[in-house]
């Protein structure tokens, strides 16, 4: 078959690229090695983790928040099997939704591993070994990523696991030892902490979510401690072994003294690495970067081979679904001759703990490092009427604005529905709004979004109203 575009990989980067190509009139094929579409995000990432986060949050609220609302529940219990079943139903509904979208947009789906024969020809090899060849003028590589590990750790997928296995456990761990205090680990750690597991986090850096503004990490750690999670920061893991139902994790404390923890599960959440196995990149002369194994691309997301593009987790930048989606649209429009643009500084980052954490733009640390003069305004949720009503008093919104022009340079929030609220900050910053601009826009009362306006008021002449 001859196509205008072949997309390899059906995650949020790949399927969005395919749909946009089809919308722009290109004959499009998508190649996916698994039987279901949607990639990491829909199958073993964003969607299943959020389904479990929601279920465990309902349970946690029933156990800890309902009584103060005057709701009495006797003999509260959870059915973990049902939570996992529901999670799978959510995943299935989403992945079949993508199959529907492929049909609707007349995109041919080829199941099998896609591999370059040459820059225009892809061999698709099915699980039974049968191979077919398809050709296209342009190829978009969207093969994503897989969990990485530490060189000395053997992940047995039974007791020493990654996020993928943590989404399909048969039981709630008694003691989950988490290696890595980043987004994926903390989200899944909080699922199990809410369901009663003891969760210990061992992190090499001196704070959790270390790539985000330091203030967010400190506040999140306080909240997660209230949930019972314990933290070993600045500690270096040296080994993990499993024997029967028991895992032992050894690590050095900041003084270099040896320590160990015993639990029944150890989840390794130390990041992800680009996935290019079986793609046959060597056949077309593409060499991956040594660190992270990412495919090098230029500013048009084109590889060193003309007509071969790469997007999403497999290239540089944040490993986030919406970044992959934006790049999918970008490449499709570029191939169609348009002039698309992505502002990489305005890709929001979110942690779906409760309260949620969300941020966009520069952190205070980055502004200091760049020598940019800025003003900061914060507003705590404990002063928000909406947050009082719901009982979500932890967290704050912090706005960083240019000291001279008042342009918003960064927004960092931890609080109820921060994942949704960050959209206001992204839009404001896309339009290069000043903090004053946001203060002048009406915000419905009572809403959590008022905290954004108040933080902007605080950033402009310290004139927040409710604090
Ligand atoms: P992927 O989604 O990884 O898809 C790549 C696809 O390519 C896969 O289906 C793979 O099977 C296929 N493939 C690979 N090689 C071949 C080949 N040779 N032939 C055919 N097919 C191939 N991001 C967020 O933005 N928000 C979140 O809340 C969030 N939560 C997450 C939670 C977890 C537990 C994890 C693990 C990740 C989470 N992420 C989240 C990250 C997000 O899942 C990724 O950034 C996103 O999936 C990347 O999309 P992608 O299209 O680049 O690749």
Distance in angstroms (rounded) separating the CA atoms of residues 281 and 8 = 12
Q: How confident is the model at residue 292 (pLDDT cuts 50, 70, 90)?
A: confident
Q: Which atom of ligand 1 is nearest to the CA of 112?
A: 20
Burial class (CB in 10 A: 0-12, 13-18, 19+), 89: exposed
Q: What average pLDDT does the segment 104-131 reach?
A: 98
pTM to 2 decimals? 0.97
235 Cα to the center of ligand 1, angstroms: 29
The verdict on the CB of residue 34 being under 6 Å from ligand 1 is yes
167 Cα to the center of ligand 1, angstroms: 15
Q: How far apart are the first and last CA of the chain?
A: 65
Q: Which pair of tokens denotes residue 294?
A: 């990412």
Q: What average pLDDT does the segment 323-348 reach?
A: 98
**Residue ranges at the known binding site for FAD:** 50, 114, 143-145, 313, 319-322
Distance in angstroms (rounded) separating the CA atoms of residues 230 and 232 = 7
With 90 as the cut, is the pLDDT of residue 458 above it?
yes
**Residue ranges at the known binding site for NAD(+):** 180-187, 203, 271
Q: Which atom of ligand 1 is nearest to the CA of 14?
A: 51
Q: How confident is the model at residue 290 (pLDDT cuts 50, 70, 90)?
A: confident
The verdict on the CB of residue 353 being under 6 Å from ligand 1 is no
Q: What is the ipTM of this complex?
A: 0.99
Q: Catalytic annotation on 341?
A: no
Q: Which pair of tokens denotes residue 442?
A: 């009406």
* Protein residue closest via CA to atom 45 of ligand 1: 320
Tens digits of residue pLDDT in 78-111? 999 999 999 999 999 999 999 999 999 999 999 9
The verdict on the CB of residue 320 being under 6 Å from ligand 1 is yes
- Looking at residue 457, what is its pLDDT? 98
143 Cα to the center of ligand 1, angstroms: 8
Tens digits of residue pLDDT in 387-434? 999 999 999 999 999 999 999 999 999 999 999 999 999 999 999 999
Please state, rounded to an integer, the average pLDDT across all residues of the chain.
97
Q: What average pLDDT does the segment 167-195 reach?
A: 98
- In the chain the domains, ranked by start, together with CATH numbers, are 2-147+273-336 (3.50.50.60), 160-270 (3.50.50.60), 355-461 (3.30.390.30)
Q: What average pLDDT does the segment 220-235 reach?
A: 97
Q: Which stretches within 337-399 are classed as H helix? A: 364-370, 385-390
196 torsion bin: left (phi>0), alpha (psi -120 to 50), beta (else): left
Q: How confident is the model at residue 56 (pLDDT cuts 50, 70, 90)?
A: very high
Q: What average pLDDT does the segment 230-254 reach?
A: 97
171 Cα to the center of ligand 1, angstroms: 25
Q: Which atom of ligand 1 is nearest to the CA of 41?
A: 43
Mutate to test the pocket of ligand 1, among 15, 20, 29, 143 (most ligand atoms within 8 A of CB): 143
The verdict on the CB of residue 358 being under 6 Å from ligand 1 is no
- Looking at residue 416, what is its pLDDT? 98
């Amino acid at each position: 078959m001859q196509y205008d575009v072949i997309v390899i990989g059906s995650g949020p980067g790949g399927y969005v690229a395919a749909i946009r190509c089809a919308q722009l009139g290109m004959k499009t094929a998508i190649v996916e090695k698994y039987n279901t579409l949607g990639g990491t995000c829909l199958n073993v990432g964003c969607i299943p983790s959020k389904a479990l986060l929601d279920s465990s949050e309902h349970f946690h609220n029933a156990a800890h928040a309902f009584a103060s609302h005057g709701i009495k529940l006797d003999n509260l219990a959870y059915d973990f099997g049902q939570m996992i079943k529901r999670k799978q139903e959510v995943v299935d509904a989403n992945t079949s939704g993508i199959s529907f979208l492929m049909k609707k947009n007349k995109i041919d789906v080829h199941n099998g591993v896609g591999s370059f024969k040459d820059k225009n020809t892809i061999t698709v090899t099915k699980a039974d070994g049968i191979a077919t060849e398809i050709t296209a003028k342009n190829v978009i590589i969207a093969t994503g990523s897989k969990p990485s590990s530490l060189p000395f750790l053997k992940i047995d997928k039974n007791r020493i696991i990654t996020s993928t296995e943590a989404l399909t456990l048969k039981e709630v761990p008694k003691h989950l030892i988490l290696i890595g205090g980043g987004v994926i680990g903390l989200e899944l750690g909080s699922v199990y902490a809410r369901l009663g597991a003891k969760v210990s986090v061992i992190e090499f850096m001196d704070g959790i979510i270390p790539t985000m503004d330091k203030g967010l990490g400190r506040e999140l750690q306080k909240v997660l401690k209230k949930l019972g999670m314990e933290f070993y920061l600045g500690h270096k893991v040296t080994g993990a072994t499993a024997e029967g139902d028991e895992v032992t994790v050894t690590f050095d404390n900041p003084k270099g003294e040896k320590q160990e923890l015993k639990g029944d599960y150890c989840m390794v959440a130390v990041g992800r690495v680009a996935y290019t196995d079986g793609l046959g990149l060597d056949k077309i002369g593409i060499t991956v970067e040594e660190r992270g194994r990412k495919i090098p691309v230029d500013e048009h997301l084109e590889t060193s081979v003309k007509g071969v593009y790469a997007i999403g987790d497999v290239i540089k930048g944040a490993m986030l679904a919406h970044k992959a989606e934006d790049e999918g649209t970008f490449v499709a429009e570029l191939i169609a001759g348009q002039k698309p643009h992505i502002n990489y500084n305005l890709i929001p980052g979110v942690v779906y703990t409760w309260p949620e954490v969300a941020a966009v733009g520069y952190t205070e640390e980055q502004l200091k490092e760049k020598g940019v003069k800025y003003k900061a305004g914060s507003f705590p949720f404990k002063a928000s009427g909406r947050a009082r009503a719901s009982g979500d008093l932890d967290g704050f919104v912090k706005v960083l604005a240019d000291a001279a022009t008042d342009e918003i340079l960064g927004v960092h929030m931890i609080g109820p529905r921060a994942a949704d609220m960050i959209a206001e900050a992204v839009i404001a910053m896309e339009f290069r709004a000043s903090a004053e601009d946001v203060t002048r826009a009406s915000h419905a009362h009572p809403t959590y979004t008022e905290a954004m306006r108040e933080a902007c008021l605080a950033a402009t002449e310290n004139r927040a109203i409710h604090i």
